[in-house]
Every structure is written in C-alpha cells, then in structure tokens.
Chain A
Amino acid sequence: MNIHEYQSKQILKSYGVKVPEGFPAFSVEEAVENAKKLGTPVCVVKAQIHAGGRGKAGGVKVAKSLDEVKAYASEILGKVLVTHQTGPEGKKVNRLLIEAGADIKKEYYLSFVIDRNTARVVMMASTEGGMEIEKVAAETPEKIFKETIDPAVGLLPFQTSRMAYKLGLPKEAVRPAQKLMGCLYNAFVGKDCSLAEINPMVLTGDNDVMALDAKLNFDDSALFRHPDIAELRDETEEDPKELEAAAADLNYVNLGGDVACMVNGAGLAMATVDIIKYFGGEPANFLDVGGDSNPEKIAKAFNIMLEGGQSKGIFVNIFGGINRCDQVAKGILEAAKLISTDGKSLPVPVVVRLEGTNAEEGREILKNTPIKNVIMAPTMEGGAETIVKLVKEAQA
C-alpha cells in the first residue's frame, strides 16, 4: 500500500526523523492559510500524488510570496500530472503539501528495502541525491553504498557512521545523519514498510540533515497490525475496478485491453495473460479467483471484467486441483444466470477451458447449458486462440 508524501512525513516525524515543517491543503484558500501559518520567506507548493517525478512534470513550485502560493496552488490543484511513474493517462492532483523552504547545500539519497537474496533489510545511500536511483545503479553503481542489517541487533551505530563517512558528509553533519538513518530504520520495521525512501535527503546551510522528500510503501500482509496505516489509504489514487475486486477478495489487475480472463492461481493467471498476447489479443486484466467456485464470487468477477464495456470476450482458464471442475462449472452457470438479463445469454462470448479433477463432468455441465455464448475449449491453447479470434470478429 502507498500513501502520500505529507502522510509519510508525519509518520517519520513521529519517529524523530527531521522533516521540513508543512501542512496538507485540499483547496487554494487552505494552501494560503498554511503558508501564513508557516511564516517563512520561501515555501514550497507540492502536488500530492502516488507517483514520483512530480518536479519535472510541474508539480512542485517554490513560492516567495503569498500571492505566488495562491497562483501555484490554483495552477497545480486539479491538474493532471504525467510522470514516468503515472503512465500516459497521468494522475489528477487533489491534495497539496505546503512546506517551509529549506536552505539546501547538497542532496543525497537514502532508503531501506528488504533484500530477497540475503533475507535482510538493507540500507542504501548515495551521493547522487534527487536522481532516479535505478539510473544511478545502472550508470554509476560505485556511487551507491549499502549496509545489511542483522534483525537480531538492528541497525548499529558503526553502520550509520560508516555510511555517513562514505557519503563524505562534513564533520558537523555526521551525528545528525546517523540519527536520521536510525530513526528511519525504526520507522521501517515499526510500521512494516516494504520501502522507505528519502530522495533527496539534504545537507542544509547550517550543516544539519533532513528528509526533503519521503516515500513509504507498506507490506499489505502486515496491515492487520497497523490500523493507523490502513486508514491513510487514498482510494482516489487507485483503479476503481481494482478496489472493487479487492473488496470482493479477488486478485485483479487492470491491464487496459479487451480480452479478459478469469483463472485460478496467480502463476496460471499470469501465464494466461501471456498466452492471450501470444495469440495477438490485448489482455484486459490479470484475475486470480483462487480455489473458489462460489457463484457469487464468480458473478462479481464477471461484472468487474464487463464493467464499462471494457471486455469484448472472457477466457476462463481453470485447472482443477483440490477444487473440482464440476463445481467450478456449476459456479460459472450460476454466475451467468446472475448477470444475464434474461437468464439465458451473456453479453460477450465466454470461452471455458477446464482441466484436472472432474474436468469431464465439468465440460458435460457446460455443454448442456441453455446459456448462449458459452463455448467449451478442448485445450488451453485452443481456448486462447478462440477467444482472441472472437474478440477480433466482434471488433470488425
């Protein structure tokens, strides 16, 4: 789960990480009020969206007067920002952060992530602050420093000190940098983060160190023990179909195309998306319904796929392991009745491939259905080819 920068900064502040003073604003008036409250000669108006690259897209402006705050706030609020992380459709700005300007001497990069290979939390820092870290890693990997953390003892002072010296920080800034690293690590483990990234971390004119930007991502599996974090979810930042699916306990990712699929198991679901593309179709979604053959759940999945007229055809790809194909077939028929207007027809062709436990019985049930538009596929390959062909015909 992602949250906004201003929310991340509030959390980090509570852990002792030094951040610029600032307040969120949902309107131009509120932005001006916040700037007055700050009372600093310079303040920054920052768009709050769940994507990086805001500065380049015109979502971050430095204001030197209240009039400028007003002008920038009206310009940015409601604007659609297109960055390298938003996709071409961009993201609409609904919130701003009004923040005190900082006296920046130099920018650095600092982050914590979980490394799969060592199964440890790793602290990463670089002298190349403000840049995309992937770019630094590709072009100048020698400018990235790492410390691997033993969970039994946590981040140790010698590690933060070693990091501060590697970054070449001035003597006076070493202690403040060590404190920031320690506090950020505590926030990372305390809130079950999957990423904590400060880009840039800045050295200020008075040789202090603070987090000028902040990005926290959280482990969805751990949200049960952080109700305070779960509350910060901003649903306007998420795909409405994905939200609806999550509420129905379905694993769904919108891929934008028109050939939908419904599959059991994440691996097979990914592979089904791939095979649709292999035969020249444009996959509409990834959807893992799990081992469930509950008709209401299948009906919900069908509704989400069909919503807004996105899908022109659906490929149901089921491998019955412990769950039985005849149960799944019954579930599909029940679901078809629930979503069809006359109980007999579906709005788009549905190609079904059933294999594994009780596949024969399942196929028999679907073969004898009075519901039009349900087509049995003898093989997975045949099913994928057929659905792509049918969708192309529907477009022609």
Chain B
Amino acid sequence: MGVLVNKDTKVIVQGITGKQAAFHTRQMLDYGTKIVGGVTPGKAGQEVEGVPVFNTVQEAVEATGATASVIYVPARFAADSIMEGVDAGLELVVCITEHIPVEDMVKVRRYMEGKKTRLIGPNCPGILTTDEAKLGIIPGNIQKKGHVGLVSRSGTLTYEAAFQLMNAGIGVTTAIGIGGDPVKGTDFIDALALFKDDPETKAVLMIGEIGGNAEETAAQWIKENMPDKPVTAFISGRQAPPGKRMGHAGAIISGGKGTAADKIKALNEVGIEVADTVAHIGDTVVETLKKAGIYDECHTC
C-alpha cells in the first residue's frame, strides 16, 4: 500500500537522456520501479538503461500506457515539461528540477486547474513507497516498510528522518518530498489528506521549515480532519535571520512572517509534538507512537 505510487505504477522519465536522469533511471529500476519509457525531444529510437526513448510525452503514453512521470529537465524548460505531462493526461507528475522561475510555476498552477494531474515538487527529492517504487532521487536503502507516512519540504531531512526512524525500528509507508519552492504542486495538507485515506498509514511525520504558512494551515487541518492519526513534526530554521533566503527559494522570513517560532507554536497548540533538534526526530516519533498506544504496531523493522 502506501500512497501515490506502487509497484504496478507505469512511469516515464522526462529528460531521460541527461546524465543525472540516466543515473537515477538505473537507481529507480533497481528499486523495482516500473520505468516504461523516457522522453527527450529528438532522441526517439534511442534506449537509456534498456528503456525506450520517445520524442513527446504523448507518444510515450500512447506506446506504454504510463500514468506517471518524473522530470529531470533543466530549469528553464521544466515548466513546459510539467504542462506537457499534464496535457498528456498523466495522473501524477513529479518534478525534481530546482530553480524554476516562480512566475513559470504560477502559470503551471493556472494551467493545471480543472485537470486531473497531481504535481509533486518542483525542487524536491520525489516520492518513495517502501519496497514498491521510487520516483526521484531518494536513496532506497534507508527506508524500511512500516506504518508512518513521511512528508517533507527538504530532501536531506527526508533521508535523515527516514534513517533515524529505521534505526528506531520504525518503518515508513510512503515518503513524499513536496519541495522547497514557494509555489508548488502539492502542499502539506494535500499530502496529509492522502495519508488520512491510506489504511496502512497509522501516523505521520511532517518536516517543515521557515517561510510561508503551510505548517500553520496543516496544524489546523490536522485538528479538524485527522484526529485519529498522531502527527509528529520538525521545523528547521529557528536561527534564520529575517529577509535571508536559506538555500531553498521558499525558505525566507519576509515581513516578520513565516518564522519557525510561529510554526512550532501553531503545531503545539493543536497537540502536535515538535522535535527540539534534528537529532531527536526519531526519538520524538517513538514517544508520540507510544503515547498513542500504537508503538508496537509501528515497530516493524
């Protein structure tokens, strides 16, 4: 189980002939992901890691029956690639690319209105459903099967968290990296809604950071919609100075808004425990699971 992707999901790779894309195509195949095709305009007929390349997403979808794509296209062309995937009727598009202009993403979001595609990212590590499939760049060896859903704005913190959980004997259903950009396809509440409806997911770990108010909105949503699945959180950027962009385009405190303190307060107010340091994410999840009486059930590895 898990959410968004499983071992039967047919996936194409947009920009497959690039060096990074080819490397990760191998990694995704090795994990068991059903990569059925790739797209690079002008490269149809070639193969990458045994996967056939097509000129357009439409051709790839018609030939393979793919329902999902993962994008490794350079930033200046990536917004167009997302919209090509949406136009081809894909159910899921995961965009790894960083540094897409924000106004391009504004157009993408407008273009997606009324269409069925779900976008994950951009500027994200992708998604991984344990022992089934991975779309993106999340390493496959640090996440064990279990019952905790993981959603995060940061790539390395997703890995760090999955690793700490694994060491604590706690497995994960699906890890979703929603990305560090201010305008993106999927936000915390969308990911939480998926976990709420997944019977395998018994608890959620949410990793946020400074900038915007998605964590505050999520806190309210959890209180109103998901009282039965315990949530643990971590927020990075407590020491970030206002007005400075901390690596991610979306990680900036502007006009006094989007501070870590505000987010932690909003989460605590609805009863969500927030790990005090990055080193304590695993321990804090364990405590939360014990308190909710589901630790034994979630202790899967």
Contact = CB atoms under 8 A, between A and B. Distances in A.
Nearest to B211: A116
A321 B183 contact: no
A288 B247 CA distance: 7
Interface in B129-171: 137-139, 141-142, 152-157, 159-160, 163
A248 to B, nearest CB: 15
B101 A267 contact: no
A272 B278 contact: yes
Contacts of B125: 321
Contact of A221 (B101, B213, B260): B101
Interface in A341-371: 355-357
A274 interface: yes
23 contacts: A85-B243, A114-B182, A116-B182, A116-B212, A121-B106, A133-B255, A189-B103, A194-B102, A219-B103, A251-B247, A253-B246, A265-B247, A266-B251, A267-B209, A267-B236, A270-B237, A271-B277, A274-B236, A274-B260, A275-B277, A275-B278, A322-B139, A384-B277
B101 A319 contact: no
Interface in B207-248: 207, 209-210, 212-214, 217, 234, 236-241, 243-248
Contacts of A151: 103, 106-107, 110
A152 interface: yes
B21 interface: no
Interface in A140-168: 150-152
A192 B103 contact: yes
Given A116-B214, A273-B239, A267 B27 contact: no
Interface string A117-129: 1011100000000
B75 interface: yes
Contacts of A379: 279
A267 B178 CA distance: 13
A122 to B, nearest CB: 11
B45 interface: no
B278 A271 contact: yes
A127 B102 CA distance: 29
Nearest to B250: A116
A342 B207 CA distance: 43
Contact of A322 (B137, B152, B209, B239): B137
B115 interface: no
Interface of B: 24, 27, 75-76, 99-107, 109-110, 125, 137-139, 141-142, 152-157, 159-160, 163, 180, 182-183, 207, 209-210, 212-214, 217, 234, 236-241, 243-251, 255-257, 260, 276-280
B154 A268 contact: yes
Contacts of B153: 267
Nearest to A118: B109
A381 B281 CA distance: 12
Given A271-B237, A273-B240, 15 more contacts: A116-B182, A116-B213, A119-B110, A151-B107, A222-B101, A265-B155, A266-B180, A267-B207, A267-B209, A271-B236, A274-B260, A274-B277, A286-B246, A356-B139, A381-B280
A274 B157 CA distance: 14
Smallest CB-CB A-B distances: 7 pairs: A267-B154, A265-B156, A266-B247, A271-B278, A222-B101, A119-B109, A267-B157
A134 interface: yes
B106 A119 contact: yes
A177 interface: no
B139 A266 contact: no
B156 A268 contact: yes
Given A266-B180, A268-B156, A381 B279 contact: yes
Interface of A: 85, 114, 116-117, 119-121, 133-134, 137, 150-152, 189, 192, 194, 219-222, 224-225, 251, 253, 255, 263-275, 277-278, 283, 286, 288, 319, 321-322, 355-357, 379-381, 384
Contacts of B76: 224-225
B163 A322 contact: no
A119 B187 CA distance: 12
B93 to A, nearest CB: 15
Given A119-B109, A270-B246, A273-B239, A222 B102 contact: yes
A243 B104 CA distance: 27
B281 to A, nearest CB: 9
A274 B208 CA distance: 14
A265 B157 contact: yes
A133 B137 CA distance: 41
A270 B209 contact: yes
B231 to A, nearest CB: 18
Contact of A269 (B99, B102, B238, B246): B246
Nearest to B107: A151
Contact of A357 (B139, B210, B278): B139
A3 to B, nearest CB: 16
Nearest to B153: A267
Nearest to B182: A116
Contacts of B246: 253, 266, 269-270, 286
Given A267-B155, A270-B236, A380 B278 contact: yes
A194 B109 CA distance: 17
A380 B72 CA distance: 31
B139 A321 contact: yes
A280 to B, nearest CB: 13
Contact of B27 (A85, A272, A322, A380): A322
A374 B24 CA distance: 33
Contacts of A356: 139, 142, 159, 163
Nearest to B257: A134
A246 B138 CA distance: 26
Given A219-B103, A221-B249, A321-B156, A274 B279 contact: no
A151 B76 CA distance: 19
B256 A267 contact: no
A278 B276 contact: yes
A283 B139 contact: no
Contacts of A192: 101-103
Contacts of B257: 134
Contacts of A286: 240, 246-247
B277 A221 contact: no
B277 A381 contact: yes
